[in-house]
Structure 1
Amino acid sequence: MMVTGTLEDGSAYKVRIPGPGGAPVAGSRRVRAMVEQLAGSPVLLGPLGPRRDLDPKDSAAVLALLRRETSVAEVRR
């Protein structure tokens, strides 16, 4: 899936989840670093849950993290 959005400082990003070769994301080094740094931390998959620990290989958890930490503008599957 392709995700487009902006980071906290207003920088735009466009990433593919999951990335090629087992990478959590491809397309933005900053987003990839954020995902890797927060691996293992809890994220809510929806507004009320369920809660899941962030696994960089779990597309739903990575998308939930991006929605929590950035402004997601578009998701294309």
Structure 2
Amino acid sequence: MPHTVTGRFDDGSAYQVQVTGDADRPVVGSARAAALIELHTGESVPLNPLGPLRTVAGDDAETVLALLRRYTDVLENH
């Protein structure tokens, strides 16, 4: 089930994406957020501040969200 994430990049630019859970298109709505996911796919990311670590995959919404939280300021997640 897709859900919407609103956030800001380090430079203050806002974004809003739908996390799809689709390996071919993990997020829809921001080319910059999509590029961030593509850049870090295959890397390990903690699912929360204390772990566990999981490998970022486009079809794994949890890791996509964790990556967005790690590299951007997620303001709203619904």
TM-score normalised by length of structure 1: 0.92
Indicate the residue corresponding to 1:65 in structure 2: 67
- CA distance in 2 between counterparts of 1:21 and 1:47 reads 25
Amino acid in the other structure paired with 2:49: P
**Aligned: 1:37 with 2:39:** yes
Name stretches of at least 5 consecutive residues in structure 1 with no aligned partner.
none
Amino acid in the other structure paired with 2:5: V
1:28–1:49 Cα change, 3 Å: same
Amino acid in the other structure paired with 1:56: G
Listed as ranges, the matches of 1:1-77 within 5 Å are: 1-18=3-20, 22-76=24-78
Amino acid in the other structure paired with 1:44: P
Name stretches of at least 5 consecutive residues in structure 2 with no aligned partner.
none
Aligned-residue RMSD, C-alpha: 1.6
Q: Is the 8 A contact 1:20 1:26 kept in 2?
A: no
- Identity over aligned residues, as a percent? 47
- CA distance in 2 between counterparts of 1:16 and 1:27 reads 7
